[in-house]
Structure 1
Amino acid sequence: MNTAKGTTSQRPNIPNELLPDLPHGPLSEYRRRASFNWKEMVFFLDDEELIQFKKEIFSALENDPLFHRHPGQDLSMEKYRELTFRRCKRIFEYNFLTLQQTLEKPQKVLALINCLGMYDWSLGAKYFLNTQVFSGAVGNAGSERHSQFLNQVQTMEIFGCFALTELSHGSNTKAVRTTATFDASTKGFILNSPDFEAAKFWVGNMGKTATHAVVYAQLYTSDGKCHGLHSFVVQIRDPQTLLPMPGVMVGDIGKKLGQNGLDNGFAMFHNVRIPQENLLNRTGEITSSGTYTSAYKDPKQRLGASLGTLSSGRVSIMSMAVVNLKLAISIAIRFSATRRQFGPTEDEEIPVLEYQLQQWRLIPYLAAAYALDYFSKTFFMNLVELQIGIFMKDKSQRQAELGKEIHALSCAGKPLASWTAQHGAQECREACGGHGYLAMNRLGDIRSDNDPNCTYEGDNNVLLQQTSNYLLSLVHLVHEDKAHIESPLGSINFLIDFKDILGHKFTASSVEECLDPKVSLAAYKWLVCYLLRESYLKLQQEKKNRNNDFNARNNCQVYYCRSLALAFIEHAVLERFHDYTHDFSTPSSLQPVLKKLCALYGLWSLSKHLTVLYQGGYCLGQLPARIVQDAILELCAQLKDEAVALVDVIAPPDFILNSPIAKADGELYKNLWSAVLQGEKVLERASWWEEFCSNKPVIGPLKSQL
């Protein structure tokens, strides 16, 4: 069955107004070659309600003059931030999501943030930090008494931010130094920053616009005892004037490498008084007599519960990174399919997508976009399940294990997604040559806007240690013959066969065999087991040598624990995508191309671990490396004709994508030339022309004075 025409002939029930046919042009030839109907794929990946929701958002932005862009216009930071805030305010006015809709279909929350991010991540982040991060922290860590803040966010009476990081402390959260001391005489807390190093720093929205913050501080009772890190709602500005509240010094940290429409700021507190009720009291409470109580007796568990909201941030960042990867690869693939250079004869030029090198550079990132997108969507729903359990006060063992597993997966998932997007954006920029370096084609902005994903909510390399710690905590189980190893999401279930898996070898003997994703999955299972064993042995040896747990763990990260965490998350992503693409419910018309994407993602990711596969004895001789590499090239070649249609599935409308070299009509040069000519003052002579024409340099005198 040929479903390659990009029409609704194979699926007459797909409304054309919902998914309009794509324009004919230079990309049409590649679209005709595709083995599947791109509209059917869209409907398979998202249900009709979600597709309609995204279309509603995109159409609203495109039809609203406030969101129109002007090619070549270089806004000042002040103007950019003003425009971003006005656009954020307009999103509130559109009211795309009611609270009831959010509860009924939480996927829409993620879809809204991602749609805004596809347009501009300064806008997406500004909206997200207020409506989800601030509100999420209040809702998850607070109680019914804090509902007023949630209502005020929805009506934009207040504007929120999330203040955890300090100037001198970020990843080491338990060392945060801001204090909140309970004053029994006034039944309230007094917030203080002991010095400038304790200033809250890097806080999104705090620079110019936030009126309220969730502030993390060390809670002290009146007797001077510290009960650890807790969160508080603190008003930092007057909503009527935007002037700082008494005792609050708040400001903007300045221009960043990207996302400059978002105002990141700092704050210091000098004897700032807040009501007792502003303590977010899920992890701890102060009684009317001034006594501290908590359901968590272990301070470590209390700290973990207090920082629980960070997992939701990391899960969201995974999705944000995938959006950036989708944008970058959409631009690069469409460009590569229309950019013609050289050819078999002097009179013929062919699209650069036909070159093996271009395929090898780009198509694995296309496969990664599909695999990571599916993982991030399903993982988001896993998080929703966890949050429902928290809301329902579920104290079951499964709920506890689910929290640990989501923490471990999110601490590795954010690094994997953000690094893949960062490397992919750079590769896409280079693959588009000089035109990719032109700012109007957006690849530079995508790269810069994705860059902070590698850092905030935890530096990637530091976060990976959380995942490896989780895995190392299971070592005692894998050595027990009848151990029960099972997790709610199944990511560690294969470890029950730990000893057996370590005896396996790479057995594929041909490229054809490697095209089956099961080859990569089997290799990954061995890889995780091997790295878990080696990390544990290295850790034990270091403990003997150093007699210090801190130094021992420090000396086990490179080549051991870090690699273990990455292999673990890559296996988890691949396994989910494999099960999805091979499920009986996946349409037979879509399975072939999806299975190829799965196989390519698996082999491409696995190829980065070939050294360890040989080092540990899983691979022997030249054959395994050769056929893995050849299989990657074969899959790239097979997916080359599918690539444009696969991009059509994930690319937003032209207005949102905002890249002249990547419009859906494929008219690369016409669109680029038109955009250049629309640039501001593009044909005007320089404003300093008189300096050039009238003041010729005098050669000699200055030199003689030196």
Structure 2
Amino acid sequence: MHVTLSPVHILFAVSCAHRRAVMISAKACSATTAMNDLLPDLPHGPLSEYRRKASFNWKDLVMFLDDEEVIALRNKIFSTFENDPLFYRHPGVELPLEKYRELTFLRCKKIFEYDFLTFEEMAGNPQKMWVLINCLGMYDWSLAAKYFLDTQVFAGAVASSGSERHERILNQTKKMEIYGSFALTELSHGSNTKAVRTTATFDASTKEFVINSPDFEAAKFWVGNMGKTATHALVYAQLYTSDGRCHGLHAFIVQIRDLKTLLPMPGVMVGDIGRKLGQNGLDNGFAMFYNVRIPQENLLNRTGDVTSSGSYSSVYKDPKQRLGASLGSLSSGRVSITGMAVVNLKLAVSIAIRFSATRRQFGPTEDEELPVLEYQLQQWRLIPYLAAAYALDYFSKSFFMNLIELQIGILMKDKSPRQAELGKEIHALSCASKPLASWTAQQGAQECREACGGHGFLAMNRLGDIRNDNDPNCTYEGDNNVLLQQTSNYLLGLVHSIHEEKIHCESPLGSVEFLNDVNSILSHKFTALTVRDCLDCTVPLAAYKWLVCYLLRETSHKLQRERQKATNDFDARNNSQVYYCRTLALAFIEHTVLQRYYDYTHDSSVPMSLQPVLRMLCTLYGLWSLSKHMAVLYQGGYCSGELPGKIIQDAILELCTQLKDEAVSLVDAIAPPDFILNSPIAKADGELYKNLWSAVLQGEKVLERPSWWAEFCSNKPVIGRLRSQL
């Protein structure tokens, strides 16, 4: 989702480090008052036992993770929703598609009225915008997507890719006079954006562009908001000048529906693609254009423009650079999707861990039943995902701020080498962080669903919706497996620089600088001898550095071998993906996440009371992620014998045991209020059975006999009854 920028960002980004230091000091002075005002005590109940066992106060953790301004905004949004009847949801009720779409639109309209953040505030304080995205997503991702596709993706792209002549469109969007959508993908093309086939031909005689879909395969498809509500679309099309020359993909503002009737504009066929696996409150649609004429000024002209006489000009001479600049909003979208997936993971583990702490089954004696969280198997299934939620959450927040720094540079027309390298690094990281976060959330939601047994399968407990609503994160704005190729290409490009050109590798965010020591790193071996040794996070960090270096070397060699056999570079790269490029990209982003979280949790600013638990989470995330690569660690000779594999496994179990008593309070620090979490088995009071029973009895027609009861009581065969009715 693209962020509309203003010069206010500059002050915000430059002062981040200073603000953090000031906030830490301010927290120390006003912690008690702030906690009482911002964080009410949780209700006493079955979860209280685990809360007493925790080594820290969950409120202290919340105050460390977020500043008071962020917490206050989050509280305001959540309490507003809870007090507005329009936002009421009965757990597990599946609304008819049309009703769900209507409610989502009405709720979206209400958010405009509440004006939690003005457009200017979202532009001037991206941290608050990040909070708003997450809050809406915790409530319902259909609502969040509908709101931000209009206010950030559509309006943000107009602001960043357009010029002064598009101010009117932005003002109309702010007032909700128009509603926008982002129309890039087509029925037959998604990932391969260069092959998009919609055309925009300039007619110099009328000073208009003619938008045309050559056939149904060129129909814009999967476009959020387009199905029922969008009045305008940002349409990506191949720009042709009057002389018949194609200048590549450009963005055009096209009105697709009448503002008074919501009927299609002349020459536009627009509709809804139907029910999806999730996020059905969002109306994804399609559109075809039959020689639709739009004014010349509807071209977003930041990357290229056409004069009244029909000649084309661009600040980018290289068509590839022009395409990259035109599609810049996709990179920011991937950063946002990383954060969206983390929200889903936090919701899922919050439900599963609270359930596990109150669900009692079996025990050492017939008279004693234990909470299932006490069982090692349940801890091993859930607590690593809790650690992943914390590590990925910090990465997504800090990475979002890196994106803001990049966008400030673009706004200020920074042409420095550092700005160029920052853009490449963020592109590479975002193309891997989206797959890592969305797959982790996908797998985590499923594990949480199963860990809650039959109650997890009950729709009202929300785990199915979380899983389904997360599913598109694995696909849109780039299929995960395809995106990982972008990251591996970036890393492989560094090999030549380091080894052939002897260039010292430097990156603005520092994610690849350890590769300068590749030869030294590859000489290292796994040296831990005991489980206690493995409880230090430097152990998985060192292993990850070796793993990335090893995979980079092996992937480079594999690519060279394939190039010798293949007739073209396309086949060579295609045959180097599985076990090589793909694994390399995933190991690289896992290392990056772990390194950031290690630096964060080992910083001197972390309160003493929080250091042990946060560092345990860091080590657990590192070892758990690393354990998926054990075959490669042995294959490459980093590990040998049975000891490394055994003590890594034992260390993971030991950390799960140590974190078991901390888990409920860790969840309390990241879970939204009961109304937002909307899961009877995961309410903060821990009254699992009372809450579930109450929710079941409040269901519609729960105690009524079926409307077709007479069919059960009838003695006539079904076929005979049907014939008598005809």
Classify 1:605/1:519 alpha carbon distance in 2 versus 1 (closer, same or farther; 3 Å): same
Alignment-mate amino acid for residue 262 of structure 1: L
Indicate yes or no: 2:208 matched with 1:185: no
8 Å contact from structure 1 (residues 318, 414) kept in 2: yes
**Pairing 1:26-425 to 2, within 5 Å after superposition:** 26-71=46-91, 73-425=93-445
Alignment-mate amino acid for residue 467 of structure 2: R
8 Å contact from structure 2 (residues 186, 218) kept in 1: yes
- Deviation per CA, 1:655-697, whole angstroms, max 9, x where unpaired? 0000000000000000000000000000000111111012354
Alignment-mate amino acid for residue 59 of structure 2: K
**Pairing 1:501-650 to 2, within 5 Å after superposition:** 501-650=521-670
Q: Aligned residue pairs: how many?
A: 695
Classify 1:686/1:699 alpha carbon distance in 2 versus 1 (closer, same or farther; 3 Å): closer
Q: 3-state DSSP class of the match of 1:218?
A: strand
Residue of structure 2 in register with 1:3 after alignment:
none
Paired with 1:80 and 1:221, the residues of 2 have a C-alpha distance of 43
Paired with 1:133 and 1:403, the residues of 2 have a C-alpha distance of 19
Paired with 1:353 and 1:131, the residues of 2 have a C-alpha distance of 42
8 Å contact from structure 1 (residues 336, 432) kept in 2: yes
Alignment-mate amino acid for residue 94 of structure 2: D
Residue of structure 1 in register with 2:3 after alignment:
none
Q: 3-state DSSP class of the match of 1:350?
A: strand
Residue of structure 2 in register with 1:498 after alignment:
518
Alignment-mate amino acid for residue 498 of structure 1: V
Q: 3-state DSSP class of the match of 1:189?
A: strand
8 Å contact from structure 1 (residues 72, 676) kept in 2: no
Alpha-carbon shift at residue 538 of structure 1 (Å)? 0.6
Alpha-carbon shift at residue 72 of structure 1 (Å)? 5.1
Paired with 2:689 and 2:262, the residues of 1 have a C-alpha distance of 47
Paired with 1:246 and 1:679, the residues of 2 have a C-alpha distance of 46
Alpha-carbon shift at residue 481 of structure 1 (Å)? 8.5
8 Å contact from structure 2 (residues 35, 59) kept in 1: no
- Deviation per CA, 1:144-197, whole angstroms, max 9, x where unpaired? 221222211110011011001000000000000000111111112110000000
- Deviation per CA, 1:474-533, whole angstroms, max 9, x where unpaired? 111221595221111111111111111111111111111111111111111111111111
Identity of aligned residues (%): 80
Alignment-mate amino acid for residue 251 of structure 1: G
Q: 3-state DSSP class of the match of 2:200?
A: strand
Classify 1:241/1:30 alpha carbon distance in 2 versus 1 (closer, same or farther; 3 Å): same
Q: 3-state DSSP class of the match of 2:285?
A: strand
Classify 1:225/1:514 alpha carbon distance in 2 versus 1 (closer, same or farther; 3 Å): same
Alignment-mate amino acid for residue 32 of structure 1: R
8 Å contact from structure 2 (residues 92, 461) kept in 1: no
Alignment-mate amino acid for residue 518 of structure 2: F
- Deviation per CA, 1:327-367, whole angstroms, max 9, x where unpaired? 00000000000000000001100000000000000000000
Residue of structure 1 in register with 2:696 after alignment:
676
Classify 1:413/1:632 alpha carbon distance in 2 versus 1 (closer, same or farther; 3 Å): same
Paired with 2:292 and 2:224, the residues of 1 have a C-alpha distance of 21
Q: 3-state DSSP class of the match of 2:243?
A: coil
Q: 3-state DSSP class of the match of 1:182?
A: strand
Q: 3-state DSSP class of the match of 2:32?
A: coil
Deviates more, 1:97-106 or 1:524-533: 97-106
Paired with 1:586 and 1:144, the residues of 2 have a C-alpha distance of 46
Alignment-mate amino acid for residue 292 of structure 2: V
Alpha-carbon shift at residue 13 of structure 1 (Å)? 3.1
Q: 3-state DSSP class of the match of 2:368?
A: coil
Q: 3-state DSSP class of the match of 1:13?
A: helix
Q: 3-state DSSP class of the match of 1:479?
A: helix
Residue of structure 1 in register with 2:39 after alignment:
19
Paired with 1:558 and 1:71, the residues of 2 have a C-alpha distance of 42
Paired with 1:630 and 1:654, the residues of 2 have a C-alpha distance of 36
Alpha-carbon shift at residue 556 of structure 1 (Å)? 0.3
8 Å contact from structure 1 (residues 230, 280) kept in 2: yes
Q: 3-state DSSP class of the match of 1:488?
A: coil
- Deviation per CA, 1:602-653, whole angstroms, max 9, x where unpaired? 0000000011111111111111111111100000000000000000000000
8 Å contact from structure 1 (residues 71, 680) kept in 2: no
Which ranges of structure 2 fall in alignment gaps of 5 or more residues?
A: 1-27
Alpha-carbon shift at residue 17 of structure 1 (Å)? 3.0
Alignment-mate amino acid for residue 578 of structure 1: Y
Alpha-carbon shift at residue 10 of structure 1 (Å)? 11
Paired with 2:501 and 2:444, the residues of 1 have a C-alpha distance of 43
8 Å contact from structure 2 (residues 406, 422) kept in 1: yes
Residue of structure 1 in register with 2:446 after alignment:
426
Q: Which of the residues 469, 480, 483 maps onto 1:449? A: 469
Classify 1:335/1:10 alpha carbon distance in 2 versus 1 (closer, same or farther; 3 Å): farther
Paired with 1:317 and 1:506, the residues of 2 have a C-alpha distance of 35
Paired with 2:218 and 2:423, the residues of 1 have a C-alpha distance of 30
8 Å contact from structure 1 (residues 199, 268) kept in 2: yes
Paired with 1:627 and 1:260, the residues of 2 have a C-alpha distance of 46
Paired with 1:277 and 1:129, the residues of 2 have a C-alpha distance of 22
Could you state the TM-score of these two structures normalised by the residue count of structure 2? Answer: 0.94
Q: 3-state DSSP class of the match of 2:211?
A: strand
Alignment-mate amino acid for residue 351 of structure 1: P
Q: 3-state DSSP class of the match of 1:181?
A: strand
Alignment-mate amino acid for residue 84 of structure 1: T
Paired with 2:29 and 2:209, the residues of 1 have a C-alpha distance of 66
8 Å contact from structure 1 (residues 72, 680) kept in 2: no
Residue of structure 2 in register with 1:477 after alignment:
497
- Deviation per CA, 1:420-462, whole angstroms, max 9, x where unpaired? 0000000000000000000000000000000000000000000
Paired with 1:551 and 1:468, the residues of 2 have a C-alpha distance of 16
Paired with 1:580 and 1:692, the residues of 2 have a C-alpha distance of 64
Paired with 1:319 and 1:688, the residues of 2 have a C-alpha distance of 46
Q: 3-state DSSP class of the match of 2:554?
A: helix
Paired with 1:10 and 1:335, the residues of 2 have a C-alpha distance of 34
8 Å contact from structure 1 (residues 421, 450) kept in 2: yes
Paired with 2:501 and 2:108, the residues of 1 have a C-alpha distance of 57
Paired with 2:427 and 2:90, the residues of 1 have a C-alpha distance of 42
Alpha-carbon shift at residue 11 of structure 1 (Å)? 4.4
